Structure 1
Amino acid sequence: MESQPHVALVSSPGMGHLFPSLELATRLSMRHHLSVTVFIVPSRSSSAENKVIAAAQAAGLFTVIELPPADMSDVTESAVVGRLCITMRRHVPALRSAVSTLTTLPPSSSPTSSPPSPSLSPTSSTWPNTSSSPLTHGS
Structure 2
Amino acid sequence: MWLDHLFPALPLERKSEPEARSAPHPRVRISPGERLLRAITALAGPHAELMEHHEAPWASVTFAGTRHTIVLRYEGWEACDAAEELMAELPEHEFTIPRTLVADAAVVRLDQVLLPEPCMTLELALLLLDDA
* TM-score, with length taken from structure 1: 0.27
Q: Tell me which protein shows more strand as a share of its residues.
A: 2
Structure number with larger C-alpha Rg: 2
**Structure showing greater relative contact order (alpha-carbon pairs closer than 8 Å, 6 or more residues apart):** 1
Q: Tell me which protein shows more helix as a share of its residues.
A: 1
